[in-house]
Amino acid sequence: MFSSLTNFFTNTSKKKSSQSEENNHSFSNSTESLLVQSTKKNPQLDDQSRTDASPQTNLQFSEDDVKNVLQDFEKLDFKNSNECFNEIAEDYERRKKSDLFNYVILNKRKYITDILDQRLAHKDQENFRKKFSEYLLKINEKMNYGKEFQNKLQFFEDRVEEVLSDFRKLNFGLKDNLCKDDKDNVNYNKGWPADPFDKIANYYRWNKNIFLFNYVVLSKQKEIISILNEKSIPEDKRKNFKKRLGRYLLRIEEGMSNGQEFLKTDSAVAFFDGCYVPCAYAKRSLNHYDHLSINISKPGCSLEISRLFTNKIEGMERNKNEVKIVEIYSNDKRIATVEKNDNGKRNYRFAKDATCDMKIRWSAEDEKGNSVNCFISLNVNPSNIEIGQTTINGENVEVKEILELAKQNKDMLIENQDLYEFLEECPENVLCEEEENIQPQGKEVVTTPSSILHDVELDEISEEKDIINRGRIPWFFGS
């Protein structure tokens, strides 16, 4: 009965992958890598002594005590009781073991949600998650929640006031929670009705930085509640806002824990920001894993982007979910968005001020019927795109020699264009002859909007501009 619990507790649960590590660099399909030279170092990543500084980790309970609580969660009648979370919480309170129960809630959240995930389909988890998040917010007033993730995002500390200022702008008096003023950035929500907390979460997803928002929600709850209390709003709306806040706390923990399990690197922080409640406005169905945000904070971190759309962790396999959109950040800047379209192609777009290298590898068949390995690198900066290197079987070739082979790359797009279409347009955008003559030998310079980009290794992030591309494909936060 407790076999799955043993796996949770000992951290030995198997992580499934639909693509083995051995095949990650195979040329049988197009692969794209991203290399980021971070412009702002996160000192917390180098200070491992601080990652466990959370007050709740200092409480002394034996492993057996903790295991017993998790076993009690496994005994819950998830399917037939709408109050099973409240029942177990009240039971520990009657037994005067609330400190132990709270410790487990704060430190073993992922194990609890994994148990829930095994016992109930995502569509049937809503009531338990509501009770869980309400309790979490209540006890978090005494214990610091999510300290491990706060530490990973500590570099956002100097931007806290920016987010708190946006919380002050929330309008609780709108009829049906609908804002029709598209100049009211925080409340507009693309003209869709939503709870005020959902609106500000969406605002940071679409227009700013979701990791910045997560840091403030994790570390500044008292300040957020204080802002809420300063507003003259009905009590039911005040309570609902707090419920949403508690729900989002749980969502951060689950999404970032699963993200780290999926990414398998300490050089970046990942957050599964999927759809928890189906939304007709954004045409999104229930999928906890459909949206993945990644913040690269260590210089030189290389990510193979293509594998993010094929690899799966156990929860994704169990719920038959997959990644559909990947957002790449480097600390306080959004770098790239990669979306899998209806045809299964990865469509790459970059922010206007992104500076990076894009490296694409694929296999093809030449005119003689021989299998060949193809490679192209693109160097992107805010004003142009340079074709860096083109090779066939490791031998340098001119761009025109690889064009026909590029037609066989059916896996990725650059700004809605197939690779060969993008390359074909390059000569039309070559800089004037005088400028060409001063370029490094072996490179062609292309004057192209820098929003064209994505499938990749990122080399460097520009510090020249702070404003990034705000045009995003909308998605909706349902708490």
pLDDT of 121 > 80? The answer is yes
| % of the chain exceeding 90 in pLDDT | 42
Q: What is the pLDDT of residue 395?
A: 96
Tokens of 372: 């060949």
Q: What pLDDT is stored for residue 282 in this prediction? A: 66
How far apart (Å, rounded) are the C-alpha atoms in residues 207 and 193?
18
Distance in angstroms (rounded) separating the CA atoms of residues 337 and 353 = 13
How far, in Å, CA of 194 to CA of 464, rounded? 36
128-154 mean pLDDT: 76
**pLDDT tens digits for range 387-440:** 889 999 999 999 999 999 999 999 999 889 999 998 988 743 343 333 444 343
Asked which of 241-245, 249-253, 282-286 is least confident by mean pLDDT, the reply is: 282-286
Distance CA 263, CA 269 (A): 8
- The three-class DSSP label of residue 83 is coil
Q: Choose the most confident range, by mean pLDDT, from 10-24, 178-192, 313-327, 449-463.
A: 178-192
Percent of the chain with pLDDT over 70: 75
Asked if the model's pLDDT at residue 49 lies above 60, the reply is no
User: What pLDDT, on a 0 to 100 scale, did the predictor assign at position 120?
Assistant: 87
**What is the structure's pLDDT at 23?**
39
The pLDDT, as a whole number, for residue 1 is: 44
CA distance 353 to 238: 40
Beta sheet of 417-418, edge-to-edge order: 268-272, 291-296, 325-330, 333-340, 346-350, 412-414, 417-418
Tokens encoding 68? 């017993």
Q: Is the pLDDT of residue 471 over 90?
A: no
Output the average pLDDT for the chain.
78
Query: Which of 141-145, 212-216, 467-471 ranks highest by mean pLDDT?
Result: 212-216
Distance CA 14, CA 17 (A): 10
Q: Note every long-range contact of 185-191, with CB atoms under 8 Å and residues 24 or more positions apart, other chains counting.
A: 190/281, 190/474
How do residues 367-390 score in pLDDT, each as one tens digit? Answer: 999 999 999 998 878 777 778 899
AA identity, residue 276: Y
Q: What is the mean pLDDT of residues 145-159?
A: 84
- Binning pLDDT at 50, 70 and 90, where does residue 142 land? low
Backbone angles phi, psi at 456, to 5 degrees: -165, 160
| 330 close to 36: Cβ distance less than 8 angstroms | yes
112: CB partners within 8 A, 6+ apart = 70, 73, 104, 105, 132
Burial degree of 265 (CB within 10 A; 0-12, 13-18, 19+): middle
Within 13 A of 62's CA, how many CA atoms are on the CB side?
3
Confidence of residue 287 (pLDDT cuts 50, 70, 90): confident
Comparing CA positions, the residue from 273, 267, 340 lying closest to residue 307 is 340
Closest CA to 252 of 126, 117, 110: 110
Give which of 477, 150, 119 is closest to 288, Cα–Cα. Answer: 477
Both tokens assigned to 257: 């824990």
8 Å CB contact between 452 and 189: no
- Residue, of 42 and 99, whose pLDDT is higher: 99
| pLDDT exceeds cutoff 80 at 124 | yes
Q: What's the pLDDT score for residue 88? A: 93
DSSP string, 168-237: HT--S-SGGG----TT-HHHHGGG----HHHHHHHHHHHHS-HHHHHHHHHH-HHHHHHHHHHS---HHH
Q: Which residue has the tokens 């992580």?
A: 15
Give 323-360 pLDDT, tens digit per residue: 999 999 887 788 889 999 999 999 999 888 887 778 99
Token output for 141: 């007033």
In the numeric block, which tokens belong to residue 355?
């500076």
The domain segmentation of the chain, as residue ranges, is 355-446
Higher pLDDT, 58 or 112: 112
- φ/ψ of 362, rounded to 5, equals -155, 160
Question: Is residue 449's pLDDT more than 60?
Answer: no
Find all residues with CB under 8 Å of 125, minimum gap 6, and list them.
116, 117
Highest mean pLDDT among 205-219, 262-276, 427-441: 205-219
Say whether pLDDT at 296 is over 80: yes
Mean pLDDT over 439-453 rounds to 32
Q: What is the pLDDT of residues 51-103, one digit of tens each?
A: 333 434 434 678 889 999 999 999 998 887 778 999 999 999 899 888 889 88
* Gap between the Cα atoms of 158 and 340, Å rounded: 34
The β-bridge relationship of strands 268-272 and 291-296 is antiparallel
Lowest-pLDDT range, 1-5, 36-40, 318-322, 411-415?
A: 1-5
Among candidate residues 373, 344, 364, the one with its CA nearest the CA of residue 407 = 364
Residue at 189: amino acid letter: N
According to DSSP, the residues that pair with 33 across neighbouring strands are 304, 359
